[in-house]
Amino acid sequence: MTALLLSFMVLYGGEAAPAARSAVDVSKDWLTACARHDGAALRQLSIFPLVVEGFQFNERPEKNVCDRVPGMTRDPKTSEIRVSAETEAEFEAMSACVLADNASSEWIKGSSEGSFVGRARLLKSPAQAGRRLARYRKKLLPIAKTRAFVEAVTSQDGITLTALVVLGRTPSGSLGVESVHIDFLFQE
């Protein structure tokens, strides 16, 4: 028993092992980092390849940092953007595009600590996602048994943001965000 305890302490530098983070906590942290424009935290919480879709760039076209992201697509009807980074090396250009979306600040709006504001719930499958996320269900069903899914919602000032966050396991076994699928509802 002593040898086991000693080896445990050596592995963790004499400190307690870090607690496993829940899928809901990792999702909230990712959305909070996005709202704070904290690219370093986003990178740390992400798994590659990483996909983010359903957001919009609301600045003048000549300032559009999203046009510089290889493989970026924009829905001609809704102007929603889809970007991905296959590796960490591609993350910087992709994150600049994602962070340019001014609506992402809604995830922390009204919080004096700059922390997540809204609701988040763990789903058993993407099929359980709310109707605002129905368009993403079909393509995510094939990975339902090997991933964790979290639905997050915040509603403020006439804007409702809903996100379906897909989490996978890193090589070390911790959870990381591998895709985020967003829906905006603007109420007049």
The values of phi and psi at residue 123, to 5°, are -105, 150
Query: How far is the C-alpha of 106 from the C-alpha of 71, rounded, in Å?
Result: 27
pLDDT digits (tens, 9 = 90+) for 4-42: 333 333 333 444 445 678 999 999 999 999 999 999 999
| Residue 73, token pair as written in the block | 């697509």
Asked if residue 45 has pLDDT above 90, the reply is yes
Tell which CATH classification among 3.40.710.10, 3.30.460.20, 3.10.450.50, 3.30.70.3270 matches the domain 19-186.
3.10.450.50
- The string of pLDDT tens digits covering residues 81-128 is 999 999 988 999 999 999 888 788 889 998 888 899 999 999 999 999
Segments of 101-174 assigned E as strands: 119-123, 148-156, 159-169
CA distance 177 to 47: 6
Q: What is the pTM of this model?
A: 0.86
